[in-house]
Structure 1
Amino acid sequence: LKPKNLFLSAFAIFGLLPLLVNFSYVNQSDQFTFEDYTKAILNSVEKNSIIFSYQWDYFISASYYFQYSDNYRKDVAVIDKELLRRSWYFNQLRRSHPDVIDNINYEVKQFLEALKPFERSENFNSNLLEARYREVMTNLVSKNSNRNFYIGLELFANEMQKGEFSLPKGYQIVPHLLLFKAVQGNEYMPAPDADFVIRFSENENRYTQFIKDTIGRMLSYRILYEINWNKIDKATAYYKKLRTLVPEFEIPDQIKKVMDPLIK
């Protein structure tokens, strides 16, 4: 081989080597988990619902893709809790769901006024800014009562436990399917059948593990809810789905003690 051809051959070999070595790790051709998970969440809520979450890597970014590229369930207002801290995000929400923001226009104006010096790197009142931010979140629920309101597991497990996010007076949350639903009153709240399908790839990573854990925890909450209301048939259906979809999930003993004798 001529020196030039020898150099090109060596360059091609060393250039392709990382691809060949890492292909099985980076190959995403059979990765449908995020699409399935996102569509399962969107399809679990009623028309014109609001979903409040910050599962950006797992659900929200994918939901925006399917909503705005594929026109898939554009009726659902998906709101990212963390992006709600930025002024530009309200413009985006106002374009996609104007009535949702119009209903909290006063709270938004108050928040944006407190946010302005922060975004300009000027001195700002952090306590006032946080208070205004929390008012926006709480009033998203109370002033959009014409829409069903859902929150992600992460909000329940973190912000609600710390008191950083609270529902308006008279509201409580009920495990719905893959989300919690904000409801008024104490009556039994039905949830959709767990007939969704999630395709998990053989290439496991922390993102797919998060989704598996979220599904396991949410179905567990729903099973306990059904048991507490003595809806054993519904609890059994969710329990079978949980064991089939994420068999490696560690089901709480209080559920297994009730359900295992019925299944066996």
Structure 2
Amino acid sequence: DKYAYYLPVFISIAIGAGFGTRWLIQIAVKSMSFGTSYCVAAIAVLLTSATAFAGNWPFNNRRHYFIANDYVENLLSTIEPNGLLLTQDWQVVSPMFYAQEVERRRPDVKVVDINLLRRSWYFDYLRHAYPSLIERSREKIDTYLEDLKEWEHDPGAFARSQPLTQKISVAFSEMVRSIVTNEIRFAPVYITNELLAANQTNSYLTQWIPQTYQLVPQGLIFNLATDQSFHDSPDPHLQTRGLADGTARFEKDDVVNLKVLPTYTSMLVNRGRYFALFNQHERAIIAFKEALTLDPNLVAAREGLAQSTAKLPSP
């Protein structure tokens, strides 16, 4: 999304380059023949464009860019029919919107963005997309929506009033809790990794979810289990085309390096730790090695690999 904000700068540079080219042509006309001056100017413009093209091509070539497609496929391949996925990661929500609404892939999967639950218009979409989800938690949703619409009408009133802020926060937490507890009766509920990161807005969720459910790593997400026994899952066959194989290049601040790749590696580490917790160290080693394939310098994977290897029975 950042490139959209650069557009005014690009336009300004293009206009400046145009004036600069015109100025160079005028100078060249004074010092050489008309035809020669335009030939030199044309060559200069072409060389400048070619240099910019060559310098930016490796980062903008999308011929081998399968990151978003594989991300969605890896997620959907894990989720069971009619499952619910809770997330606040736009890198998940955005391609999921396209896959489900345009390509009509896995329309049975319910994807709910926790952040968008703070906008009343999002509930219109949820009513259309997942009417049964809304109906099962209607009481808590309606209560929260009343507070949310008041906040949208006058956010300053909530900023000035601690009781109002507390009221809407409690209503939000109770609504999310209702959605999870009601949906898990009918189909599995999953969450993405970043929901467990403590922050001011979702501190309740980061505490309530792991206290109430066992987090079972499955692929790139956690399955919320209602008991503490071991839950097996097939080994994930993650598609990682272009992610770390060198076929696509990314800048250091690209979202792939900042968010997507860490999701893959952290969930593989979580999978390894889960197996190690239940003394399945052979499978834990496989998960840790897969994480190191994507990021050879990942300390958590190296430590987990060493610990599980040390606990293997001697031959």
TM-score, scaled relative to structure 2 = 0.73
CA apart distance, 1:161: 11
CA apart distance, 1:82: 0.3
Q: Deviations over 1:107-149 (max 9, x none)?
A: 1111110011221236342221111111111111111121211
- Asked if the contact 2:219/2:238 (under 8 Å) is kept, the reply is no
Match of 1:232 among 269, 281, 300: 281
Q: Does 1:203 align with 2:249?
A: yes
- Asked if the contact 2:127/2:134 (under 8 Å) is kept, the reply is yes
Secondary structure in structure 1 of the residue aligned to 2:276: helix
- Asked if the contact 1:176/1:191 (under 8 Å) is kept, the reply is yes
Aligned twin of 1:153:
193
Identity of paired residues, percent?
25
Q: Deviations over 1:225-254 (max 9, x none)?
A: 111112233223323322334334333454
The structure-2 alpha-carbon separation of the partners of 1:91 and 1:16, relative to structure 1 and needing over 3 Å to count, comes to: farther
CA apart distance, 1:17: 5.8
Give me the whole-angstrom Cα distance separating, in 1, the residues matched to 2:192 and 2:126. 19
Match of 2:148 among 92, 112, 115: 115
Q: Deviations over 1:167-213 (max 9, x none)?
A: 39743322222111211111111123121221124312431122221
The structure-2 alpha-carbon separation of the partners of 1:131 and 1:6, relative to structure 1 and needing over 3 Å to count, comes to: farther
Give me the whole-angstrom Cα distance separating, in 1, the residues matched to 2:212 and 2:298. 34
The structure-2 alpha-carbon separation of the partners of 1:188 and 1:161, relative to structure 1 and needing over 3 Å to count, comes to: farther
Give me the whole-angstrom Cα distance separating, in 1, the residues matched to 2:282 and 2:57. 45
Structure-to-structure mapping, 1:176-187, within 5 angstroms: 176-187=218-229
Give me the whole-angstrom Cα distance separating, in 2, the residues matched to 1:21 and 1:240. 35
Give me the whole-angstrom Cα distance separating, in 1, the residues matched to 2:35 and 2:224. 73
Structure 1 outlier segments of 4+, above 6 Å:
5-8
CA apart distance, 1:63: 1.1
The structure-2 alpha-carbon separation of the partners of 1:257 and 1:73, relative to structure 1 and needing over 3 Å to count, comes to: same
Report the residue type matching 1:191 in the other structure: S
Give me the whole-angstrom Cα distance separating, in 2, the residues matched to 1:49 and 1:244. 30
Give me the whole-angstrom Cα distance separating, in 2, the residues matched to 1:254 and 1:160. 31
Structure whose residues are more often helix by fraction: 2
Aligned twin of 1:164:
204
Unaligned runs of 5+ in 1: none
Give me the whole-angstrom Cα distance separating, in 1, the residues matched to 2:202 and 2:130. 29
The structure-2 alpha-carbon separation of the partners of 1:121 and 1:240, relative to structure 1 and needing over 3 Å to count, comes to: same
Aligned length: 263
The structure number with the bigger radius of gyration is 2
The structure-2 alpha-carbon separation of the partners of 1:85 and 1:162, relative to structure 1 and needing over 3 Å to count, comes to: closer
Aligned twin of 2:290:
241
Give me the whole-angstrom Cα distance separating, in 2, the residues matched to 1:86 and 1:161. 14
Deviating more after overlay: 22-31 vs 150-159: 22-31
Aligned twin of 2:176:
137
Secondary structure in structure 2 of the residue aligned to 1:79: strand
